[in-house]
Each structure stands twice: as C-alpha cells, then as structure tokens.
Structure 1
Amino acid sequence: MQKLTPRFIGPYQILKRDGNVAYQIALHRSLSNLHSVFHVSQLRNYIFDPSHVIESNKVQIKENLAFETLLLRIEDQKTKELRGKTISLIKVFWGGATGESATWEVQSQMCDSYP
C-alpha cells in the first residue's frame, strides 16, 4: 500500500520556456484536451525511478479533466465541531489507476452518494 498517492504523471519533455514562469510540455495524444503550457508550480524536477512511473494510458481522463476513482473501504470515523455544529466524518480509501488514497468525507454526503 502506498502512503501517498502520486500527484504527477510523466515524465514529459519540456519543449520551450514561455516567459519567466511557464513551460510548454510535449503531452501524450491522450492528454490532447489539456493546455500544454504549465506554470512552474505545477512541475517538478524528476530523477528517474522505475517504481514511480505511472503510465498515462492507465489514467482515463474524462472530458471535464477528472478521472475515475472507486471506493475501496471505510476505515475510520470521527466527529468534528465546526461553528457549533457536530459533523460526522468517515475516512474513505479510494482506488484507481493512480493507486490508493485516503480522504475524510462527510458521512451524510457519502451515504447519499453510495447508498
């Protein structure tokens, strides 16, 4: 199990520098709906490690630039006080092409989405 989910895909070749803080990247055809110029804050210098590479063809990107994740399991529950209200939260583990990740979700919203 991975502790952190991958947040970057690639590596990709930098085609050119566009101003002081942006770079144009050579994207794969499956990512053609993305703009190819990225701010430096969205890029990371990468030292190659085969265990880190996520094949871009495994990530199915939808028209709205989202990708599908599946609910794997619920592992924990807690309540949180927020502005005088008590909110029930559950820790949900998600899976998909990018690996496994965990988030805290509002229990009532999860019950509505996943009856």
Structure 2
Amino acid sequence: MLKKCMGDPSFIIPTEGIEIKDSLSYEEIPVHILDRQVRKLRTTEVASVKVLWRNQFVENATWEAKEDMKKRYPHHFESEESVDQGTNFLLSAL
C-alpha cells in the first residue's frame, strides 16, 4: 500500500549540469579536499582525505584513501607538493 509523502524541496538537486550517460549513471568528480587525517593501525599508518564531490552537499563528503585519490586526481594535490618542496628547501638551508 502506498502512503502519501510530502517532498522536501531542500533535497532536490538540479540536473542541468549533470552529464548522464546512456546507462543512467554519471561519474562523481571531486571538487575540494575538506580535511586530512592519518589513522594509526597496529603496524601501519593510513592517510585519508575528506572529499567534497560535485553535486553533493558538505554533509555527504566521504573519507577516501589519500594514495588512491592522488593517483586518480593528482591536480588536487599539486599545492601540497609545492608546500612540501618549500619546507624541504628551508630545512636543507639550515
């Protein structure tokens, strides 16, 4: 049996900018990296980044492995590498 449902207009996502494929699917593209963290396991450390995806709200951002994201989307990590190189330069100058 179906029940009457009142829709919430805040959950409506505009579809003009979404490229929908013939299989009615689309690829999510990361827009911004919101946060970074390193989790310590027993013997290893796992670096993670919190990613804001296109057509999603900040509340729906997900934690992804940093190395995987770096391989797939290296342009999001270019500024981080330049900061690391600058730090290495300063340390070598001392």
TM-score, normalising length from structure 1?
Answer: 0.46
Higher relative contact order (CA 8 A, sep 6+): 1
1:32-68 residue CA offsets vs partner (Å, 9 max, x unmatched): xxxxxxxxxxxxx731233333456765443555322
Q: Are the structure 2 counterparts of residues 85 and 65 from structure 1 closer, same or farther at C-alpha, using a change threshold of 3 Å?
A: farther
Question: Counterpart amino acid of 2:21?
Answer: K
2-side partners of 1:84 and 1:64: how far apart? 42
Percent of aligned pairs sharing the same letter = 31
RMSD of aligned C-alpha atoms? 2.9
Corresponding residue of 1:72: 31
2-side partners of 1:75 and 1:56: how far apart? 24
The structure richer in helix per residue is: 2
Offset at 1:77? 0.9
SS in 2 for 1:51: helix
1-side partners of 2:9 and 2:42: how far apart? 47
Question: Which structure's CA Rg is the greater one?
Answer: 2
How many residues in Structure 1 have an aligned counterpart in Structure 2?
A: 70
Structure 1: stretches of 5+ with no match in the other structure: 1-16, 18-44
Structure 2: stretches of 5+ with no match in the other structure: 75-94
Match status 1:109 vs 2:68? yes
Question: Counterpart amino acid of 2:10?
Answer: S
Superposition map of 1:32-111 within 5 A: 46-54=5-13, 59-63=18-22, 66-82=25-41, 84-96=43-55, 99-100=56-57, 101-111=60-70
TM-score, normalising length from structure 2?
Answer: 0.54
The structure richer in strand per residue is: 1
